[in-house]
Amino acid sequence: MLDIVKFITVSVAFWLFATSADAQRISPRCMTMRDKIGCTCALENGGGIGRRAGSDRRRWYSKRAGQRHVNEAFVQCMVRNGRV
pLDDT tens, N- to C-terminus, the chain (84 residues) = 667 767 676 666 555 554 444 556 899 999 999 999 999 999 999 899 999 888 889 999 988 777 777 888 899 999 998 887
Tell me what pLDDT residue 2 has: 67
Report the alpha-carbon distance of residue 61 to residue 39 in Å, rounded: 7
User: pTM here?
Assistant: 0.64
- Give the span between the Cα atoms of 2 and 80, in whole angstroms: 29
Domain boundaries, the chain: 2-80
Residues in the chain: 84
Task: Provide the pLDDT for residue 15.
Answer: 57
Task: Give the helix/strand (H/E) hosting 60.
Answer: strand 58-61
